Amino acid sequence: MTTDLRYAWRQLAKSPGFTFVAVLALALGIGANVALFSVIDSVFLRPLPFREPDRIVRLSSTNEQQNFARIGFSYPRYLAVQDGQQVFSDLAFAAINGFTLTGRGDPQQVLGMHITANFLTTLGVRPLLGRNFNADEDRPGGESVVMLSHAFWQKQFNADPSVLGQAITLDGRPHTIVGVLPPAMSAFPFNQQQVWVPRPAEVPFLVPAQLNGGGFFFQALARLKPAASLRQAQENMDAIAAGYREASPKNVDAPSRIELVPLLEDAVGEQRQTYLLLFGAVGCVLLIACANVANLLLARFVGRRKEIAVRFALGARRSQVVRQLVIESMLVALLGGALGVLLAQWSLGALVTLGENLIPRALEIGLDPLALAFAVVVALATGLGMGLLPAFQAAGVDVHDALKDATRGSSGSGNRLRSGLLVAEISLSLVLLIAAGLLLTSFARLQGVAPGFEPGGIFVAQIAPSPQKYRGEKLVTFYEQLYAKLKTLPGAKSAALSDRVPLTGNATPAPVAVTGRPVPPMSERPNANRHLVSPSYFTTLGIPLRAGRDFDERDSSKVPHVVIINEAFAKKHFPSENPLGRTLITGMGQLPSQIVGIVADVRATSLNTPPEPDYFLPALQRPENFTSLLIRTEGDPAGATSLVRAALKEIDPDLPLLNPQPLTTLIARNVANRKLAMFLLAGFAALALLLASIGVYSVMAYLVTQRTAEIGIRMALGASPENVMAMVLKQGLSLALIGVAVGLGVALGVTCLMQQALFGVQPHDPLIYAGLSLTILAVATLACWLPARRATKVDPLAALRST
């Protein structure tokens, strides 16, 4: 074996050009596959860092009739599951909440979670320092205690082990630190949480009607008993949901079913299809690279036929020659694999930087032993597959014929094999190009969608006044003071408050009913997206008022409640009536509101979601402890940050300004996932096209070399350079046309799988198919033209002397 390796190394060193091209082609193919496998392994395959993570499930609410799936859980339903379940060893409950941290430098907003005392037990996690919450702290009215995340402990306390017993002030209330959580609780899917407090049912932003009426404000996790399967647990939940529906028919969540989803699947499942599609794309790139190198190896074998025949004549066994050719191929593949791992390591760093906020578990992505093992297996399989082609041809070499006619080219079967590999390269490249073209077109059309408002020139930020400090009229007064200051800021054309910003992916569906008609139970009422906005909201965003009036300072908490609806709401609920003056019963509070205006539709949740029924309530009539600040500025919106922060500090120096940025930046995140997938697929398609063009060139260059004598004879008999060029181009383009035909057929089937990822374009768009087919034919023509041009320079006399 050592002798074979030395011999293979010497052979590769004799052909540095071939070795360089072959290793580089395989490095690009293997590197792309290793990089994407590392992403899939880290995100989808690697278990979460908890005890028996495959037995942890999330309980979610799903209602196909109302078009929502896997959303939050309600408190009454949690109690029903707690009483009736027979399949969980632990059932935990939680609510996400934001807190204002004061007393440690500038005030800052920290994200936290209210959890039951058994939340960590359910996950199989123990505190790194200190203890978990006890039963007394978990009861209503318990002490204010907190556990810190590992990352928060390191950042705020420099990993001080004596932090236990100290107090931090959250929302103006001291909380005693009783524990520090391990690094596992700073990882996905809890990587955003910084502090953990007990008693989720006491979350301060909910009123009793929301807590007890079945609102989807909470999260529920459970651990399956050792003997319980997911199917058995789902059957148990179906029975509990049926009983809950009978016992609490008026609750909002009564019609929805309980869906159990493994925790990892719940966290990353939505992106699985995208990354499997990309993995298929890089698989095609590797196949193209392999076909390329296999063609080079076959061409190289033809040049070594005499050498191999001499070895056979001198007594070499055919198995020995076959083994040496396979080892030579595998050595090329291993060199390509080693370089590919380096390329994968570099590309993963760039990918994590680009997708840190887009790819789940992005910070966990890296080359682990499994990814390296994958690289070795791919390299070995690639080397073996490529090496067998010339090895089988070498085994069939006729010694007498090879020695008698050393200048003769390869056999017809060899040429057919090379031509078949070239056709495969072109067809796979076309499939990738069409897939990338569909995504590029989809993204371009998505960007061209009119959102229904004017996002340019708007500054946006958020604030979250503490419920302990601001409630009722005190919160109204705070918002009135802030709104008055924002309107008078230098450079501000207009200003507004809103609980939701359009095109940021957020929506608050709430039940609605029209008075004067039969009012169904709340669980049967249709939903519409609720918005809390101040006066000038529509003016600031440039949303046209179609009828009625806008909100103004008259719409305070001391006067009858009013509401504005959008056109989609009017068409759905008042198709043949004038809605102005009618009264709606909205939300779980069931407060009546008179319709005073109708505004134009906007795409509130995403560009690819058509306008939905929306209704708008005055923020000062029904204030909540979270709002966004919107300011239309005369200049750069980013320049308003310091002015807004100063205005806020004048009213409340302990309230931090959150996420200040231009609205256009915030909206760009709405399409960021599509953009990343498009960028990756387009890169893979470009790489495939490059490899295919190299393949066309190498095959045609070899064929020209093989036909040098024939070309010389033709030119000696009077063929012109133009005739020779036409002959070579015809041969190359006929293969390219076959490849395009095969690629179109494959693309017609493959692109059907992309239907959900496309917007504004059909999977079989004829313009895209035709345009990219012409593109690949143009590239193939160029790749053929270079060898064809060289063929026209053949010296007939020299060619004839060589025969």
What does the alpha-carbon distance between residue 696 and residue 422 come to, in Å, rounded to a whole number?
A: 7
Region of poorest pLDDT, from 3-7, 68-72, 559-563, 798-802: 798-802
Residue 592: strand pairing partners: 585
| Whether residue 342 has pLDDT greater than 60 | yes
Pairing assessment for the beta strands 583-586 and 509-514 based on DSSP bridges: antiparallel
715-752, pLDDT tens digit by residue?
Answer: 777 778 788 788 888 888 898 999 999 999 999 998 88
Between CA 614 and CA 604 the distance in angstroms is: 9
Same domain for 128 and 163 = yes
Structural domain includes residue 71: yes
Residue 394 pLDDT: 57
pLDDT of residue 700: 77
Quote the pLDDT of residue 412.
52
Which residue from 616, 629, 381, 598 is spatially nearest to 487, judged by alpha carbons? 629
Same domain, 282 and 216: no
409, 755 contact by CB (below 8 A): no
Same domain, yes or no: 238 and 309: no
H-type alpha helices, 652-720: 663-668, 672-706, 708-716
pLDDT in the model for residue 4? 65
Tell me the C-alpha distance between 115 and 137, whole Å.
Answer: 11
Domain limits for position 39: 1-48+273-410
Q: Is the pLDDT of residue 305 over 90?
A: no
CB 705 within 8 Å of CB 792? no
On the question of pLDDT at 2 being above 80, the answer is no
CA atoms within 13 A on the CB side of 334: 12
pLDDT at 318: 61
Q: Say whether pLDDT at 439 is over 80.
A: yes
**Preceding peptide of 189 cis, ω within 30°:** yes
* 515 and 547, same domain (yes or no): yes
- Other beta carbons less than 10 A from residue 758's beta carbon: 20
Paired sense of beta strands 614-618 and 167-170, if any: unpaired
pLDDT digits (tens, 9 = 90+) for 580-589: 999 999 877 6
93-126: b (≥16 Cβ within 10 Å) or e: bbbbbbbbbbeeeebebbebbbbbbbbbbbbbbe
CA dist., res. 643 & res. 636, Å (int): 13
Domain presence at residue 660 = no
Token pair belonging to 30: 């293997």
56 assigned to some structural domain: no
Q: Is residue 738 part of a domain?
A: yes
| CA nearest neighbour of 76 among 250, 212, 256 | 212
pLDDT at site 714? 76
Buried b (16+ CB within 10 A) or exposed e, 165-198: eeebbbbeeebebbbbbbebbbbbebbebbbbbb
Q: Which residue has the tokens 């123990």?
A: 126
State the pTM of this model.
0.81
At residue 409, does pLDDT exceed 60? no
Give the per-residue pLDDT at 542: 96
Helix or strand holding residue 387 (H, E): helix 369-395
Are 352 and 426 in the same domain? no
Cα 60 from Cα 81, distance rounded (Å): 12
Is residue 6 situated within a structural domain? yes
Q: What is the C-alpha separation between 178 and 166, in angstroms, rounded?
A: 8
Same domain? For 616 and 641 the reply is: yes
Q: Is there a single domain that holds both residue 40 and residue 89? A: no
pLDDT band at 798 (very low <50, low <70, confident <90, very high): low
- pLDDT, position 307: 62
Measured CA to CA, the distance from residue 294 to residue 417 in angstroms comes to: 10
Strands (DSSP E) along 103-166, which ranges?
108-115, 129-130, 145-148
**What is the sign of the dihedral through the CA atoms of 358, 364, 370 and 376?**
positive
Closest CA to 61 of 53, 43, 73, 49: 73
Under DSSP, the state recorded for 89 is: E
Residue 276 — very low, low, confident or very high, per pLDDT cuts 50/70/90?
Answer: confident
Residue type, 499: D
- 57 inside domain: no
Ordered alpha helix ranges (H), 161-271: 208-212, 230-247, 263-268
120 plus 238 within the same structural domain: yes
Domain identity same for 98 and 245: yes
- How many other CB atoms sit within 10 Å of the CB of residue 746? 15
Residue 334 within a domain:
yes
Mean pLDDT calculated for residue range 652-661: 92
What is the predicted pLDDT for the residue at 122?
A: 96
Task: Give the pLDDT mean for 52-61.
Answer: 96
Q: Render pLDDT for 631-652 as a digit per residue (tens, 0 to 9).
A: 999 989 999 999 999 999 999 9
Question: Does 518 lie in the same domain as 625?
Answer: yes
**Residue-wise pLDDT tens digits, 381-390:** 998 888 777 6
Among the listed residues 44, 96, 528, 77, the one whose alpha carbon sits nearest the alpha carbon of residue 259: 77
Please compute Rg for the chain using Cα positions: 34
Last residue of one domain, picked from the residues 619, 654, 689 = 654
62 φ, ψ (degrees, to nearest 5):
-135, 135
For 17-75, the three-class secondary structure string (H helix, E strand, C coil) is HHHHHHHHHHHHHHHHHHHHHHHHHHHHHCCCCCCCHHHEEEEEEEECCCCEEEECECH
| Tally of domains within the chain | 4
Average pLDDT, the chain: 87
Phi, psi at residue 129, to the nearest 5°?
-130, 145
User: How far apart, in whole angstroms, are the C-alpha atoms of residue 656 and residue 676?
Assistant: 32
What is the reported pLDDT for 743? 93
CA separation for the pair 425, 667 (Å, rounded)? 39
Alpha helix segments (H runs only) across 560-671:
567-573, 641-651, 663-668
* CA 288 – CA 281 distance, rounded (Å): 11
Classified as helix, coil or strand, 668 is helix
Q: Is residue 664 part of a domain?
A: no
CA atoms in the 13 A half-sphere facing the CB of 654: 15
Residue 70: other Cβ atoms inside 10 A: 15
| More confident site: 316 or 286 | 286
Residue with the bigger pLDDT between 608 and 485: it is: 485
Res. 414: pLDDT tops 70? no
Asked if residue 459 has pLDDT above 60, the reply is yes
For the segment 521-577, what is each residue's pLDDT rounded down to a tens digit? Answer: 877 888 899 999 999 999 999 999 999 999 998 888 788 899 999 999 999 999 999
692 and 791 both lie in a single domain: yes
Is residue 267's pLDDT more than 90? no
Q: Are residues 191 and 105 in the same domain?
A: yes
